[in-house]
Amino acid sequence: MALHNRVSRKELKERMLQDPTPRTTISFYCYFPVPDPENFRNTIYRELSEIGVMGRIYVAAEGINAQISAPTENLEKLREYLYSFEPLNGLRLNIAVNDDGKSFYVLDIKVREKIVADGIDDPEFSMEKKGRYVNAGQFNELTSQPGTIVIDMRNHYEFEVGHFEKAIEIPSDTFREQLPMAVEMMEEHKDKNIIMYCTGGIRCEKASAYMLHRGFKNVFHLEGGIINYSNQVREQNLPNKFHGKNFVFDQRLGERITEEIIAKCHQCGKPADTHTNCVNDACHLLFIQCDDCREKYENCCSTECQHVIHLPEEQQKELRKGIEKGRNVFNKSRRRRPDLRGE
């Protein structure tokens, strides 16, 4: 069996969109020692392909990080297979909140240096000592106490469309920049209760360990992140302290948590929280666009890109030469996003 996809992604996407098979979107991660990441990668690729899994999985010596979808009828098979690995036995699987099953169309499993890039090169740092987990009820209780600090460990475009009440944004472009910045910003609050959160838990878990490593005392992190929190408040009928939409890194680009729209269209300024990638293949900028601007600009971020998409394909290819295609997809930098409202 081939251990890599050999069908064009365009064709795979069309197949996925036309396939009526019910699918469930899931995310999970686990920090654990992986002695031979390449071999582990090949092993799980074979088995997950057989189950019909699609998605994005990173494997490293420090563990596994996955955002996937699987045929709903195969969820138990998937769970049994993952649990067959001792470190993954009992692993929490985060089930997507708003899910049409069309989140992924190919299985990509890549070996990386780390499952989340953190920039930490301190040999004394260890994930063995990490912050205390809190569930949705505990999160609500702790955040109701005076003096508790809530820190969002996601990127600016994630925070922009949805976040928890009184959450502090760490204004940086990457997670590796956020870690030292969070320490610096919280330096005078080392003895306070600090709760960190992210989308599914992987970033805030590492951040909590880093904060403890840097001398903080009372560090907590939201178990399973926003996804697990949203499911718990719904199932347990708890007050929901999250406002807006949860950004996700798949075809959906977001899960509706509440009906509130707290962001604005990057082109006209109207209330909007739908992310899109500019359809100009030489751009693919990630930005927020309302329905009116989507129609006006034909899914483009600017009049310049709108002009390009109407050029002959050969001319478009010439314009794309030398450009890193897709460089702006999930763009983490504010600096690289132009002021679209000037259009």
**Residues with catalytic annotation?**
198
Are 74 and 15 in contact, with CB atoms under 8 Å apart?
no
CB atoms within 10 A of CB 88: 16
DSSP assignment string, 60-90: ETTEEEEEEEEEGGGHHHHHHHHHTSGGGTT
245 Cβ contact list (under 8 Å, min separation 6): 161, 162, 254, 255, 256, 257, 261, 273
* Beta pairing partners, 105: none
For the record, the structure tokens of 321 come out as 């030469």
Closest listed residue to residue 221, CA positions, set 127, 155, 297 = 127
Helix pair 136-143, 225-236: axis angle to 10 deg: 100
**Residue 312, exposed/middle/buried by CB under 10 A (0-12, 13-18, 19+)?**
exposed
Q: How far apart are the first and last CA of the chain?
A: 50
Closest listed residue to residue 248, CA positions, set 273, 270, 279, 269 = 273
Are 144 and 76 in contact, with CB atoms under 8 Å apart?
no
Are 288 and 266 in contact, with CB atoms under 8 Å apart?
yes
